[in-house]
């Protein structure tokens, strides 16, 4: 699933491609996409200029010249494909935006879980989100406050976007390994007066995991406009079940928490 670094990378690509363009047509090619972007909303997009593209958590927002907003969430397998109007459509194209300048932007999504919604001027409200993990607001004190009432294991708690925005399954596992914290540790056990050092390691681990993510990572494949990714998947702990821990040499284990795979070193992360 695309997480913060992947969505940020996608938003930057989209911004470079479409900023300042005027939408000429909007089409959908799957029933689920049509439910979220009905004909009246597609019609409302035509003639609107894209003034800003931003990311908040895992959400991409296209701000249009009439103050309406196009909200995009990739979910599990969404991504952008860019081409010229009239070119052959990419496989798994679910939503298409054509611009008067001749650009075609396609949302491709093999599982068809991605969501594209149009919001009339003044109606869009962000969900309840925690601080951006790479922003100035993500302090140790803010993390302590967010965890203080949480008794659940820290790994699934970190996936709650109200705690910290944009962190998903991969980077939660990576951050906990960096912090030497067991994914099963009760979240509020990290908030006591003697836990500041551990909590600081966790905050720093989250930031390091995100900052050192391969900037172009997306399922270790080529992006949909044909340009290959050349950075390897080199996780410290994620998806390395049975392999040696790079820190202590013990075996990495995998288990399930809240329906998601967790990877950890049983020796380093007691």
- For residue 229, pLDDT over 90 is answered with no
Choose which CATH entry (1.10.10.10, 3.20.190.10, 2.30.180.10, 1.10.3720.10) describes domain 4-119. Answer: 3.20.190.10
pLDDT of residue 235: 86
- Four-way CATH pick for 140-265: 1.10.8.50, 3.40.50.720, 3.90.380.10, 1.10.10.10: 1.10.8.50
- Residue 214's pLDDT is what? 65
Percent of the chain whose predicted confidence (pLDDT) is above 90: 87
φ, ψ of residue 118 in degrees (nearest 5): -100, 135
Question: Which two tokens mark 171?
Answer: 């980077």
pLDDT digits (tens, 9 = 90+) for 149-200: 999 999 999 999 999 999 999 999 999 999 999 999 999 999 998 999 999 9
Of residues 214 and 56, more confidence is placed in 56
> Per-residue pLDDT for 13 more than 50?
yes
Per-residue model confidence (pLDDT) at position 233: 54
267 counts as catalytic = no
- Tokens representing residue 152 in the block: 């659940």
| pLDDT greater at residue 149 or residue 212 | 149
* Alpha-helical runs (H) found in the chain: 4-18, 31-36, 39-45, 140-147, 154-158, 169-179, 196-211
Task: Out of 58, 104, 144, 240, pick the active-site residue.
Answer: 58
Q: Which two tokens stand for residue 168?
A: 């998903």
Structural domain boundaries of the chain? 4-119, 140-265
Question: What average pLDDT score do residues 46-56 get?
Answer: 98
- Per residue in 57-91, pLDDT tens? 999 999 999 999 999 999 989 999 999 999 999 99
Active site residue 58: yes
**What pLDDT sits at residue 95?**
98
Write b or e for each residue in 38-52: b if 16 or more Cβ atoms lie within 10 A of its Cβ, otherwise e: eeebbebbeebbbee
Domains 4-119 and 140-265 share a fold: no
Instruction: Confirm if 72 and 114 have CB atoms less than 8 A apart.
Output: yes
What is the model's pTM?
0.88
Q: Which of 56, 75, 198, 260 does the annotation list as catalytic?
A: 260
Asked if pLDDT for residue 222 goes beyond 70, the answer is: no
2, 133, 156, 183: the catalytic one is: 2
Of the residues 3, 6, 8, 93, only one is catalytic, namely 3
Q: Which of the listed ranges 1-5, 66-70, 229-233 does the model predict with the highest average pLDDT?
A: 66-70
Task: Give the pLDDT of residue 227.
Answer: 38
Average pLDDT score, the chain: 92
């Amino acid at each position: 699933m695309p997480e913060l670094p992947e969505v940020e990378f996608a938003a930057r690509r989209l911004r470079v491609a479409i900023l300042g363009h005027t939408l000429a047509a909007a089409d959908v090619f799957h029933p689920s996409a049509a439910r979220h972007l009905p004909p009246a909303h597609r019609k409302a997009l035509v003639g609107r200029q894209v003034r800003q593209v931003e990311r908040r958590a895992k959400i991409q927002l296209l701000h249009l010249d009439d103050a309406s907003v196009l909200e995009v969430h990739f979910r599990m397998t969404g991504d952008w494909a860019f081409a010229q109007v009239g070119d052959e459509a990419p496989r798994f194209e679910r939503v298409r935006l054509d611009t008067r300048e001749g650009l075609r932007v396609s949302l491709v999504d093999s599982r068809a879980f991605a969501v594209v919604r149009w919001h009339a001027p003044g109606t869009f409200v962000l969900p309840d989100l925690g601080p951006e993990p790479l922003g100035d607001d993500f302090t140790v004190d803010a993390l302590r406050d967010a965890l203080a009432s949480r008794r659940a294991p820290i790994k699934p708690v970190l996936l709650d976007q109200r705690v910290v925005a944009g962190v998903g399954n991969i980077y939660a596992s990576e951050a906990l390994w960096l912090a030497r914290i067991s994914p099963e540790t009760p979240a509020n056990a990290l908030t006591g007066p003697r836990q500041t050092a551990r909590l600081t390691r966790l905050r720093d681990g989250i930031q390091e995991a995100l900052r050192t993510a391969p900037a172009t990572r997306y399922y270790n494949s080529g992006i949909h406009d044909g340009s290959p990714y050349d950075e390897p998947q080199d996780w410290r702990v994620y998806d390395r079940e049975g392999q040696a821990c790079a820190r202590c040499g013990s075996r990495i284990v995998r288990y399930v928490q809240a329906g998601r795979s967790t990877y950890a070193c049983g020796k380093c992360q007691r």
